[in-house]
Structure 1
Amino acid sequence: MTITKSASGIEPAQAAKVLWFLPTHGDGHYLGTSEGARHVDINYLKQIAQAADTLGYFGVLLPTGRSCEDSWIVASALALQTQNLRYLVAVRPGLLSPAVAARMTATLDRASNGRLLINVVTGGDPVENKGDGLFAPHAERYEITREFLHVYSALLRGETVNYSGKHIQVEDGKLLFPPLQEGGPPLYFGGSSGPALDVAAETVEKYLTWGEPPKDVAEKLAAADAAAKAKGRTFSYGIRLHVIVRDTNEEAWAAADKLISHLDQETIDAAQKIFARYDSVGQQRMAKLHGGRRENLEVSPNLWAGVGLVRGGAGTALVGDPETVAARIKEYMSLGIDTFILSGYPHLEEAYTFAEKVFPLLPLDHAARPRNISAKTGTLGEIVANYLPPERRQAQS
Structure 2
Amino acid sequence: MQLFWFLPTHGDSRHLGTTHGARSVNHHYLRQIAQAADELGYEGVLIPTGRSCEDAWIAAASLMPFTERLKFLVAIRPGIISPTVSARQAATLDRFSNGRLLINVVTGGDPDEQHGDGSFLSHAERYELTDEFLRIWRGVAAGETVNHTGKHLRVENARTLYRPVQTPYPPLWFGGSSDPAIELAGQQVDVYLTWGEPPADVADKIARARSAAARHGRTLRFGMRLHVIVRETSEQAWQAAEELISYVTDDTIAAAQKAFSRFDSVGQQRMAALHGGRRDQLEVSPNLWAGVGLVRGGAGTALVGNPQEVAARIKEYSELGIETFIFSGYPHLEEAYRVAELLFPLLPLEQTRAPAQINLTGPFGEMIANDIVPPTRLRQSEDAREAQV
Q: Same fold (TM over 0.5)?
A: yes
Judged with a 3 Å threshold, the aligned counterparts in structure 2 of structure 1 residues 190 and 393 are, in CA distance, closer, same or farther, namely: closer
State the 1:388 CA deviation. Answer: 3.7
Partners of 1:147 and 1:111 in 2: CA distance: 27
2:234 alignment partner, one of 243, 249, 252: 249
1:211-267 deviations in Å (ceiling 9; x for gaps): 000011111111111111111111110000100010000000000000000001000
1:1-20 equivalent positions in 2, closer than 5 A: 16-20=1-5
Asked whether 1:33 is paired with 2:33, we answer no
Amino acid at match of 1:235: L
Partner of 2:338: 353
Gaps in structure 2 of 5+ consecutive residues: 385-389
1:162-241 equivalent positions in 2, closer than 5 A: 162-241=147-226
SS of aligned partner of 2:102: strand
1:223-372 equivalent positions in 2, closer than 5 A: 223-365=208-350, 367-372=351-356
Partner of 2:361: 377
Partners of 1:387 and 1:342 in 2: CA distance: 37
Amino acid at match of 2:190: E
Asked whether the equivalents of residues 223 and 326 of structure 2 are also in contact (C-alpha less than 8 Å), the reply is yes
State the 1:384 CA deviation. Answer: 2.7
Q: What's the TM-score, normalizing by structure 1?
A: 0.94
State the 1:182 CA deviation. Answer: 1.3
How many equivalent residue pairs?
Answer: 381
CA-based RMSD of the aligned residues comes to 1.0
SS of aligned partner of 1:43: helix
Partner of 1:55: 40
Provide the identity percentage.
Answer: 63
SS of aligned partner of 1:201: helix
Amino acid at match of 2:361: T
SS of aligned partner of 2:349: coil
Amino acid at match of 1:377: T
Asked whether the equivalents of residues 357 and 376 of structure 2 are also in contact (C-alpha less than 8 Å), the reply is no
Judged with a 3 Å threshold, the aligned counterparts in structure 2 of structure 1 residues 372 and 76 are, in CA distance, closer, same or farther, namely: closer
Judged with a 3 Å threshold, the aligned counterparts in structure 2 of structure 1 residues 209 and 248 are, in CA distance, closer, same or farther, namely: same
Partners of 1:389 and 1:331 in 2: CA distance: 37
Amino acid at match of 2:95: R
1:146-176 deviations in Å (ceiling 9; x for gaps): 0000000000110001111111111111111
1:123-150 deviations in Å (ceiling 9; x for gaps): 0000000001110010000000000000
Partner of 1:3: none
State the 1:370 CA deviation. Answer: 2.7
Amino acid at match of 1:331: E
Amino acid at match of 2:276: G
SS of aligned partner of 1:377: coil
State the 1:193 CA deviation. Answer: 0.5
1:298-335 deviations in Å (ceiling 9; x for gaps): 00000000000000000000001111111100000010
Partner of 1:99: 84
Partner of 1:148: 133
Asked whether 1:389 is paired with 2:383, we answer no
State the 1:390 CA deviation. Answer: 2.8
State the 1:356 CA deviation. Answer: 1.1
Partners of 1:267 and 1:107 in 2: CA distance: 42
Partner of 2:387: none
